[in-house]
Each structure stands twice: as structure tokens, then as C-alpha cells.
Structure 1
């Protein structure tokens, strides 16, 4: 039989047990508090749903690869579908800010939604990491120190398209785009760098299913080439109808954000021969991209699109910045500085932020080619953009 401990020893043991229990309780509370809430807003349904799904899947892949953490901090992701409707996007952002009280918001697929939610989020001083939509106003006068993009501003994407059209020697080009913020930015960006003659610029309804009348008009105009901006389901319908009209081999088609990893599975060999300017293709040759493509294809049984790549970069950016501040977002300026450093390896290649928090990164000529009987996207030469909009000069961080 063990001897009974003295009163002094019993008191000491009780104090130690209480201290240990308190310590464990506080540790559990701290761990719960340390879990950062991240809101993801994207277009996850309808004709543009594949774009948002690629954004979400790649973001979650990056978190899964890090054991459910970013920057060694546990994270919880709350997903919201904006349905490509600005009012629904505002409702989603309001829920995330007021009910869920998220620390960070990411995603956003289409520019009309971005224009509706950018100011409410940044005015609330919640960190906002966009991974696709890049309307020109938020790259300029409406910029915010709380907003960072891992994609591009809309004009920049199509400035590369205009330059590529010059490089290919086309002089008379017919331009078409969906009639919303990104479509209007697309045309202005294209015209900024294209040195030839724009025969006509035609704007069509968002999610318009039938382009037969517009295709007949462009055929009658006899351009050297046509340049289009039709993301998601719009691009699938347009390219199919362009091919059915017998024009794909007759009038060269160039595009941006029309032929990509989200639309090619539906188009397949119908799109072979088309050329696009893009910030990303799965064959970009660097170690981080090779690892990303392998992991994404293993997880989701499809190649990653540029939307996936940009969202994966958003997670990598957050991972690097959170690590620098040890997961503590209380000093907001310190976290902003950590984000500005962009201390991560982008799957796109060299990456840094301009003063307006949009990236200075490469664009490529990407062709739809046939390999082993299948249509694939292949990046080749970088596009050296001659002229860019000076949106950063209009940006005054608040």
C-alpha cells in the first residue's frame, strides 16, 4: 500500500493538476481561435461554373497539400456561389463578412461580380485575394491596399492578345466580346496594342447561346482574323458555331480566356488550330508547375486551367504571407507588406506585384494542337507586351 501524501504534497498536486487543466483549456481555445476563416466566392453554376470550380478545386488542393493549413495555420474555407449575378455576389460577401466573420476572402470569377463586391469587402478592411476577375477600375482609381490579385487586370490580358495579333502579321481584324465589364476592358486592351485596323467591334449578350447572325456578319466583313473574348459556356458555343460555319480554317481565330482548360474538354478537336494569348498553360516548364499539374490531374482527373493555376497561386501567396506574420493578422499593415513581397514560386514563372497589387508576370502564345489524337493547349513563346495601361499610376492606396 502506498503511503498517503502529506497535506502539503496534496495541495501541490492539486495546484499542478489545475494548472495543467487550465493550460490545456487555454491551448484548445487558442487553437480554435488560430483557425483562420477564408471565404471563397466564385461562379460555380451555370455556363461559367467550370471556371469557378477550377478556382475552388485548386485552392483546396493547395490547402490539402499543406495538411489543412496555410502558413502553418489551420484554415476553414466557406464556399459561396455567386451564380454570375452581382446581387447574389453582394449577398454572399455580406454573409461572409457579417455572419461568418471571415478573415480573408478569395476567388471571384467574373468582373461584374467583382465590381459589385470589391468595395464592400475592402471598405471592411478584410483581406481580399482575387484569382481571376480583374476589372480595370480596381487596378486604377478604385484600388485598395487590402486587395491583391494573382491573375491580371482585364486590359493587360488583352494587351497581350493585341500584341500577339501584331506578331502574327494580321492587319484587318474583327473583334467580338460579351457585353459586360470584362468584355469592354477586353476590347480596350486589345486596341491599345493592336497596330492594324479594327474592322468592327461587336458586343453580345452575356451567356448568349446563338451567334449565327454575328458569325454571318463577320464573314461578310472578310477580316484577316477575328479576335474574341467569350469565357466559359459562351466560348464553347461560339467556337462550335464558328467551326460549323466552316470558318476556323478559313478566317484565323485568336482569343483570350475563350479557349482554355475549362472549355477545351467540351470542344476537343473542334478547336484545333485556334490561337490564344494566356498567362498559363499546363506545359509551362518550371518545377512548381510540373508538381502542380501532376497533383491536380491526380486529384481531379483533368488538366488544370489558367483559373486553377491563378487560384493555386493565391493559396501559395497566402501561405507565404501568413508564415511571415506567424498567422497573426492583427497588424494589418504587416500582413499587407508580407503579401506585397510575393515570396512564393508561381506556377506561371517569375512573379512580382506592381504598386497597384496586380501582378507583373508573363503571358504566352498558346496554341490548340492535336497530340495522340487529343486536343491540348501548348504554350510556346512569351508575348512581349509593347504598351500597357498605366493603371498603377492612377492608384492611390487607401
Structure 2
């Protein structure tokens, strides 16, 4: 495989294989991901998903050899901006793939897109970048932040829950999450609680939930925050009394740590590992074999990001210097997504299906989310109508 993977700020640089150099220079892709701290597992899934795609593509994108440069944004927007400038000015990358967190996406959006470097998000989808601040150089292979949360709002409404307690971290994605839930839920919000990003102790919030006795809680708590919340929720005896609805709180990035504490809890997603297609089955099987863990959506979106870049470069004959031709090819999204239905809307965010999922246990003893029902079909985000810059 003719791809080189460099990791900056981590311990090692890995060359996946050597091959005779092509006359054409190597394409350069920067992966900007959170790879340290409580939420590092999210970035690890995205990194591993992208690298698995590179393996499956023979180490090439659009027929070109590739150098992949991995940088850790440390979940610090100022650090991320510095590292992005290095990717653009020193490494001269053709694409930046990342980030995981929306505060990093917002901070790095302008320096990347102002340089006319294509920025492809495998997770973060803040509302402003889908709407008024959309940009022809920014694409998401994930979703707009609100959408997975909208699934749970719709489910809560459909199931007749009269009172719901809302809980999220105090940053853009947390605010988008609760806004998404409320878009379809019309019942009473008994409490809307925000905690600091990377908060790990939820005892005061759990005491409120126990005293208020809502019909359900809805939460968005990614990474280590979600691990602790689920364990503490179960330990407090609430899991059997008050339904736990969430997005990104119980998924394949957190389940290895949550394990039985998460069984039966619900999530909203555009995909699940048990999605029954040959392409997805192979992806999940290969990912488990390579990394000994079940892939989360972060891995799937990053895999799709590589497929997207590959499809666009095939359309341009491997050329990345004609930005308009490359942008047009990216917009067409002529690849087969692991999730099935996929196309870009007017704002370069996906139009796709969304599901209610539930935590279950695989025959091999590993945990995964599994599709319960489809909630939205070919669903576009609510902010696309505010975007005027991508066409």
C-alpha cells in the first residue's frame, strides 16, 4: 500500500508500505482529531476508520499515492488553529479531515477555508457552518449536529412522554443537541441543564432527576463524559425507572467502558454496525479484526470521507489543483456510502436516513448499538435554507 501515515505530537511515525514513487507528487491529507484526554477514543475511531479505508483503497486516493499526517488537536481550539496552520503552510496539505468537536471546527474553519483547502468533517457539524457561515470548501460526511438528537425528540413525542429532563455539555454541540431534541418534542422540559465540557461527576444532576421524576431524560455526553454518566445513572437506580434517551452517549466509542450499564439504553444515529448490507458487514468485520473493537459512527464517517475524496479525485483525473473542478466532484458524492442513502444538500451536509438504536450485546461478547426503527427518511438539516455560499 502506497500511503504514508505521519503522526505529529504522538510517539510514532508509521510508514504503511513503500512503493516506487509516481511522477506525480503525493497527495497530502491532514487528519485533525482529538487523540488525547477523556475524549481521545472518538478521534481514535475516526483515525482508524480513515486508515482502514486507505488500506481498502490500496493506499491511493484517485490513483495517487498519499501521505496522511495525523495531528492531535487536544480538544483545544487555540492548539488546533496552530496545528492547522502547520498543516497548511508547512505541510501544504490538499485536504484536512476532521475534527471531532464543534468548538474546534468553528475555530479552525476560517484559516482552512480561507486558504482554499478542502475541509471535510467526519463528525462535527455545528449549526452555523451548516447555515449562514457555510462555505464551498467545507463538507461534512457526518450530519448537522442537531439531527441525531432530533431522532430522540421525535421518539419522545411519539411515545407520549409528557415531561423530559435535558442534559448537555456547555459548548456549541451541546446547545445544538438540545435545540435538535426540542425541534420535534412538544412536551414539558422540566429542566435544561448544562455542565462544563469534560465534566465527569453528575451526582447533583442525578439528584435533580430523581426528585423531579420526569418521564424520560435526554442527554448528549460524548466520550468519557458519557461513560461516567451512564455508570452513575445505572448505579443511582434510575435506569430501570426513567428511560434514558441520548445521542453519542451510548455508542461504540463508549460501550467498551460502559458495558452492561448501557444495555437497553436508546440512541439516535444515521447508522449502526448491524446495518444489513454486504458493504457494511465487511467494514465492521474488517474493523473488528484490525482494531479489536466495534466501529463507532466516527469510524464510519471517516471511512466515507476517504471514499468521498477518492471519488472526487477519480473524476478530476487525480488533479487537486483545479479547485472548482474538485469542488464540483466532491459535491456529486459519487461513492457508495457505508450507511446506504447519501447525497449532499445545498450546504454540503448529507441528506440521509436516521434511526432509533438500542444497546445490545453481540455473540462475541462485544457491545454495539442496533437499529430499532427508521425515524427520518432522506432527511435534510434545518439550516440548509440559510446557506447561500456553496452553490
Instruction: Give TM-score, length-normalised by structure 2.
Output: 0.91
Q: Which residue of 2 aligns with 1:78?
A: 69
- Separation in 2 of the partners of 1:103 and 1:335? 11
Q: Secondary structure at the match of 1:76?
A: strand
Instruction: Report the Cα offset of residue 158 of structure 1.
Output: 1.4
- Higher mean C-alpha deviation, range 351-360 or range 212-221: 212-221
Instruction: Report the Cα offset of residue 183 of structure 1.
Output: 0.2
Q: Which residue of 2 aligns with 1:218?
A: 209
Instruction: Report the Cα offset of residue 297 of structure 1.
Output: 1.1
| Superposition pairs of residues 103-114 of structure 1, within 5 angstroms | 103-114=94-105
Q: Which residue of 1 aligns with 2:385?
A: 393
- From the two aligned structures, give the one with the greater helix fraction: 1
Instruction: Report the Cα offset of residue 218 of structure 1.
Output: 1.4
Instruction: Report the Cα offset of residue 108 of structure 1.
Output: 0.4
CA contact (8 A) 2:294 2:367 kept: no
**Is 1:330 aligned to 2:321, yes or no?**
yes
| Superposition pairs of residues 275-354 of structure 1, within 5 angstroms | 275-354=266-345
- Separation in 1 of the partners of 2:216 and 2:107? 34
- Separation in 1 of the partners of 2:197 and 2:328? 38
Relative to structure 1, the CA distance from residue 263 to residue 30 in structure 2 (aligned partners, 3 Å threshold; closer, same or farther) is closer
Q: Which residue of 2 aligns with 1:132?
A: 123
- Separation in 2 of the partners of 1:200 and 1:388? 29
CA contact (8 A) 2:96 2:117 kept: yes
| Superposition pairs of residues 135-284 of structure 1, within 5 angstroms | 135-284=126-275
- Gaps (5+ residues) in structure 1? 1-27
RMSD: 1.8
- Separation in 2 of the partners of 1:30 and 1:294? 32
- Separation in 2 of the partners of 1:142 and 1:363? 25
- Separation in 1 of the partners of 2:367 and 2:91? 43
Q: Secondary structure at the match of 1:383?
A: strand
Instruction: Report the Cα offset of residue 388 of structure 1.
Output: 6.6
Indicate the structure (1 or 2) with the bigger Cα radius of gyration: 1
Relative to structure 1, the CA distance from residue 215 to residue 388 in structure 2 (aligned partners, 3 Å threshold; closer, same or farther) is farther
- Higher mean C-alpha deviation, range 296-305 or range 159-168: 159-168
Counterpart selection for 2:29 from 35, 38, 41? 38
1:145-174 CA distances to partner (integer Å, 9 max, x unpaired)? 011100011112211221122233322100
Q: Secondary structure at the match of 2:267?
A: strand
Counterpart selection for 1:384 from 376, 379, 388? 376
- Separation in 2 of the partners of 1:387 and 1:347? 17
CA contact (8 A) 1:192 1:387 kept: no
CA contact (8 A) 1:131 1:307 kept: yes
Query: How many residues are paired up?
Result: 371
CA contact (8 A) 1:159 1:189 kept: yes
Instruction: Report the Cα offset of residue 386 of structure 1.
Output: 11
